[in-house]
Amino acid sequence: MAENSNLGAIVKDGVIQDTSASQLSLSKDKKAEKSNSLDKDAFLQLLVAQMKYQDPMEPTDNTAYISQLATFSQLEEMQNMTAGMSLQRASGLVGEEVICKVTNKSTGNTEYAQGIVDYVVYENNKAYVSVNDSLYSVDDVYQVMEKGYSEAYELARKFVSAIQSLPDADHLTAEYDEALTVLRETYDAMNDYQRQFIDKGFVEQLEALEAKMRTLKGE
């Protein structure tokens, strides 16, 4: 399947996909970029106007112009430094699992996109990360997940679901012996990080069921 992504849309098989959240992220950055450009232009225009309309009898000291130009240079240097840091940060996120937080332009609701950063796109000193085939500004990266988060979360979800599918201790029968054995083996195989995702109450429920099963088996 042919897939092409650009800064305005994600295209699959010649069809533009709906990426409202990421589109807003890109739109926001373009507006900010335009705003920064106007600020710099306004600074230069102000300086030119000051030189053009100065009193010829009392011209402004050259030192003042040099000082203003220095201020302008410092402004550009800070903007370039910020852009460089943004690009570096984005590059470091490739392969990481992140959550991006944006506002949907259609509904006004806050939306979250979670996934692995596949690659980074650079345009006009702006960095965008690709998450689930959509592009988001690096500034929209709300959280970087710990290694193994998704695996631990999914493992805990399945464990809790299995516990909840069992009858309570008063209605437990011998036919659930194998299921309890699998649950115990699954829990014992988890590391400490993975176990943190399971509420203590579900572990106690498993222990209570195991105790009842031992009674049923006459152990």
Residue range 173-217, pLDDT digits in tens: 999 999 999 999 999 999 999 999 999 999 999 999 999 999 998
pLDDT of residue 186: 94
pTM, full prediction = 0.49
pLDDT of residue 198: 94
pLDDT of residue 95: 85
Q: In this structure, how many other beta carbons lie within 10 angstroms of the beta carbon of residue 58? A: 7
Rounded to 10 degrees, the C-alpha dihedral 153/156/161/163 comes to -170
Arithmetic mean of pLDDT over the chain: 76
* 80-89: pLDDT as tens digits: 666 667 667 7
126-142 exposure pattern, b = at least 16 Cβ within 10 A, e = fewer: bbbbbbeebbbbbbbbe
Q: Can you tell me the distance from the alpha carbon of 15 to that of 3, in angstroms, rounded to the nearest whole number?
A: 10
Rg (CA), the chain: 29
Is the predicted pLDDT of residue 167 greater than 90, yes or no?
A: yes
* 136-160: pLDDT as tens digits: 888 888 888 888 888 888 899 999 9
